[in-house]
Amino acid sequence: MATHLTHWGVLDADSDGERLTAVRPWRADPEPTPLIENVASAQHHPARIDQPYVRRGWLEHGPGPGPRGSEEFVPVSWETALDLLAGELSRVYRDFGASAVYGGSYGWASAGRFHHAQSQVHRFLNCLGGYVSHRNSYSLGASTVLLPHILADMGTIMSRATTKSVLAEHSKLIVSFGGLSPKNVVVSPGGVSKHNGRGWIRQAQANGCRFVTIGPLRDDSPAEAQAEWIAARPGSDAALMLALAQVLDAEGLADNTFLDRYTVGYERFAAYVRGAEDGIVKDPEWAEPITGVAAARIRTLAREMAATRTLVTVSWSLQRARYGEQPLWLGVVLAAMLGQIGLPGGGFGHGYGSAGNVGLAVRVTSPPKLPQGRNGIDDFIPVARIADMLLNPGAPYEYDGRRRTYPDIRLVYWAGGNPFHHHQNLARLRTAFGRPDTVVVHDPFWSATARHADIVLPSTMTIERDDYGSGEGDRYLFPMPALTRPHAQARDDYWMFGELAERLGIGKEFTEGRTAQEWLRHLYDEWRERLRGRGYEVPDYETFWAGESIELPIESEEHVAFADFRADPQAHPLHTPSGRIEIFSETIAGFGYDDCPGHPVWLEPDEWLGSPRAARFPIQLVANQPRTKLHSQLDIGAHSQSTKIQGREPVRLHPDDAAARGLSAGDIVRIFNDRGSCLAGVEISDSVRPGVAQLSTGAWYDPDPADPSHCRHGNPNAVTEDRGTSRLSQGCTGQLALVEIERYTDPLPPLTVTGPPPVAHR
């Protein structure tokens, strides 16, 4: 038996050398997750890539735009694949330079510090001269840009969040916009050792804390919270928050002493709330027809928030929508008006129900990792604008106060991610992927991204290589010796890049003469010496590698966010332009963006149940994260497959919406709008707000050959809009879309994503 770290937890595994024969949750995990069941069942699945492949058209006609995603692949030897790829890299860097290479490789990749795919590909491309990179993430695109202007950077918000043990002891009311989803907190970048997503909530409830969850899904808070559910219309949170602020302001419940000392711009915002700017008072009566929440309940909720120790927490989902900056900013404003920022159990939170790494003890330092080197160019795009970049080289766009230009990309290099999961409007992305000269993908599986590549190199899973790992913010570092031999001809990314580097004359720069195991020891020893220099001791490498895990040094077991700032704002100013919380931002106002002005406002989205578009598409689709997998990882695994309905991803509907369409549980439906459509299997639940359908992301994109805008498997990004949150952050808007739903009466089409694509042998 051996332990092994994954993004969703630690597993205890038995192996016969070829495959895992048994997988169990780590015995030290108090809240284990069934997601680990996907690992063993996926390892030798027919969708594994068994050897290198090249798209037939690229192999026969050379680099250039092409019909990616629809052609056969030709199996080739490793030597042939690497020779072809080295030649193409040499051509592109020679003829077009590093600014023609996109090394985005966005995604979670696999757990592990050394064999982290994005670190490997970025180090390799930096050795060649650099690459066009990405900024931010699909999960936090708006947050990462907005919050540094008004409060703090995302690293501080997440790593220095008030610890959950403090919340459990001191919070008396937790108002969660977007919920505290139990399915999200079982995962974290790099892994979760000891899950506690439900335990702290159970303890808080036992200590007298009351929970209110605001969102379209009742079960976005765990049963342990015994939460009151306020089912506001999706996309209307900013209006609800403005009405809460209006009550606090009008009834003298705002903490003016706190606002005067710790914030700037409150009076500008208050004038808007009072109606001085537009003649509209943003009171609960104004908000009721927008949100669907009774004005009386809005008013009493504001009073309850002011009467006790209250945490206002905003999930990441709210900022993944058009104008997503507004509810996030308003969450900060509400917490400031309550005057509890910096107090135990009160203030502002962002992500407590979004990932497992928020609210943990503060580590002294991060674990060892592979250095990526220096990028020779500084060109980048906001990550969710990849289709815009590929479709519109040379076109201008605005981002965070600057006017930028999309580069002309000739080669896309992707390792450790799946943009055909993350991105919106997949038919448009498919067209965009047809534009470059060459697309290269490393992947263990025939994901949709691999199927849209020219050169496909089979990479190992974590269980097939030596590494070590620790989750982001987690307090344990785990040795991860390989549990089995690699599948077929799969190789780790370091081996692939090392072979390419030798062919391109940069072998010494990339490998520094070390094997993978020598790198593991070297990085660990360097890290150990750095810790020793700070007065902390960890075991030597041999002891660590032979054991099960080591505990990392902790700076503080409990932490209160912004406590230092509250104690002395002059000695501990925020890293905002004013050093204080910016309720009105002169910087953002100076950008002149009508879709994100200088203080938070209500901006009506194009796609919500109150818009004219809802007359044609009367169902609000919520495309949230899945329960049975991490994003799209291991969708072919046993646990993920166990919830499919006739092989399709399940969609949840309220009983009234199902009845109005003559639908029963288990039916296959077509979900559609004027961007695309997908198939899904019906689940009926009163935990979904009327007028809402919930279809999680993660089903591998399986486009109809005659219509790429139609996904036969159930990927909601067939219907979502590829548009930025605003000109400020250009974040992802994939959370919400308006659709209609109808019974699917044609013969059910076969799925093609559960096996390899068509192969042509030379």
217: which DSSP letter? B
Distance CA 100, CA 90 (A): 12
* Nearest partner of 165 among 562, 565, 559, judged by Cα: 559
Number of other residues whose CB lies within 10 A of the CB of residue 278: 9
> Does residue 608 have an active-site annotation?
no
242: which DSSP letter? H
CB 367 within 8 A of CB 111: no
Q: Which of 108, 200, 229, 519 is catalytic?
A: 108
Distance CA 287, CA 318 (A): 18
Distance CA 7, CA 636 (A): 17
Return all residues near 704 (Cβ < 8 A) that are at least 6 apart: 710, 711, 712, 749
C-alpha to C-alpha distances, 752 to 47, 67, 69, 235, 706, nearest whole angstrom: 10, 18, 12, 35, 14
Return all residues near 410 (Cβ < 8 A) that are at least 6 apart: 63, 92, 96, 100, 101, 436, 437, 438
Distance CA 511, CA 521 (A): 14
* Nearest partner of 318 among 402, 214, 243, judged by Cα: 214
Instruction: Work out the angle at residue 752's Cα, subtended by the Cα atoms of residues 747 and 758, and round it to the nearest 5 degrees.
Output: 125
CB 355 within 8 A of CB 576: no
Q: Which of 53, 93, 106, 494 is catalytic?
A: 106
Structure tokens at 290: 């927008």
CB 14 within 8 A of CB 1: yes
* Nearest partner of 363 among 554, 162, 629, 624, judged by Cα: 554
Structure tokens at 687: 């935990």
CB 494 within 8 A of CB 124: no
Distance CA 731, CA 733 (A): 7
Dihedral (CA of 310, 201, 642, 461) sign: positive
CB 331 within 8 A of CB 133: no
Distance CA 197, CA 201 (A): 7
- Report the DSSP pairing between strands 692-695 and 619-622: parallel
C-alpha to C-alpha distances, 209 to 299, 348, 366, 403, nearest whole angstrom: 20, 16, 33, 47
> Does residue 58 have an active-site annotation?
no
Using CB atoms within 10 Å of the CB of residue 393, give its burial: 0 to 12 exposed, 13 to 18 middle, 19+ buried. middle
Distance CA 78, CA 83 (A): 8
Using CB atoms within 10 Å of the CB of residue 121, give its burial: 0 to 12 exposed, 13 to 18 middle, 19+ buried. buried
Distance, CA of 400 to chain centre = 20
CB 288 within 8 A of CB 298: yes
C-alpha to C-alpha distances, 373 to 22, 63, 528, nearest whole angstrom: 39, 29, 21
Identify the three-state secondary structure at position 63: coil
Using CB atoms within 10 Å of the CB of residue 529, give its burial: 0 to 12 exposed, 13 to 18 middle, 19+ buried. exposed
CB 608 within 8 A of CB 236: yes
C-alpha to C-alpha distances, 742 to 217, 617, 668, 680, nearest whole angstrom: 22, 11, 9, 10
Name residue 102's beta-bridge partners: 132, 412
Active site residues: 106, 108
